[in-house]
Structure 1
């Protein structure tokens, strides 16, 4: 007798189930059984679509990395509008307030998964590397537009912003940090090189 429910898009529904487990219970609780139970399907469904659980997790990470890259396009398009500090605060709050921050914890927790991802991401931590590249490109564009000092070292500023935002959001069991905390960190890091006009500041 069949168990579970039919999945219209099995891969995406399994990914979403994994995210819910990860956000609710943490990386230690993320098992194939926990994912299929959360998705309401038989355990065999996962193994029909992925060779093993680490292959499933690797695809989950790659899929979420692609979302960060899409977010990068949106941020770059925002260069020259709003405020630099406001744009950075928004993107960092969204990035680490979402499942992306939890996936970083998963990557740190699972050595085998990091090894699997080395096949396509030979250096750095996936998602954090893409996020740093996103901020570097954005800050470079703002520098070109004159909203950042010409001498601003965007390749140092970007990972500094990522590291600070990650630390602010690192306590998974506590209440989510307020945007004001992220903004305060962003202001401390880039405030000295921002050259926004009086009308733009805020």
Structure 2
């Protein structure tokens, strides 16, 4: 990029580039690439910017990765934050699917793969947000299912916390094993439908 040209939202540009690099590692076969070879140079090359730009905004590469993890964990938590307020409307499976798919699967896949490979990033996320990305999703899903249970749209003998763990497990599995495409969306929605099969569509009168 020519000198003197302003780069819009450089942090987000670098975060998006990181996601593309991680996606490339996930699909690489014969190249030998893996998250172990994730570097600042790889990210800035993907972003099409000078390597120094990353270190203008972050003290080192680990600080950059932590910044990314915090940003995306906040995004994941925000995407599901309104779920409990939907209790009593729509269908439980549809509400869960909408909330889980509110965050692009490309972002979810990159975040999940990075934090699985670098669990040492989690304390940095928790120091800022108080909880990790998928933990926040699990807690919000449990709150939503408990609200639906009080309305009679989740069976009284169901365990909202256990169901929430299954919901997040599905999301985690799809993020790690499935390409972010319409097939992944369908898989998540099908899983939510199967999980909630037999749940009342409307609250009992």
Q: Provide the rounded CA distance (Å) in 2 between the counterparts of 1:87 and 1:24.
A: 31
| TM score, norm. by length of structure 2 | 0.78
**Structure 2 counterparts to residues 15-164 of structure 1, below 5 A:** 15-26=15-26, 28=35, 30-95=38-103, 97-114=105-122, 116-117=124-125, 119-120=127-128, 126-164=132-170
CA RMSD, Structure 1 to Structure 2 (Å)? 2.9
Aligned to 1:196: 201
Pair 1:30–1:80, CA change in 2 (3 A): farther
The range that moved more, 89-98 or 76-85, is 89-98
- Distance apart, 1:108 and its partner CA: 1.2
Contact 1:168–1:177 (CA under 8 A) maintained in structure 2: no
Pair 1:144–1:98, CA change in 2 (3 A): farther
Pair 1:144–1:82, CA change in 2 (3 A): same
SS, match of residue 170 in structure 1: helix
| TM score, norm. by length of structure 1 | 0.79
Pair 1:48–1:179, CA change in 2 (3 A): closer
SS, match of residue 99 in structure 1: helix
Q: Provide the rounded CA distance (Å) in 2 between the counterparts of 1:31 and 1:167.
A: 26
Structure 2: any 5+ residue segments left out of the alignment?
A: 27-33
Contact 2:79–2:102 (CA under 8 A) maintained in structure 1: no
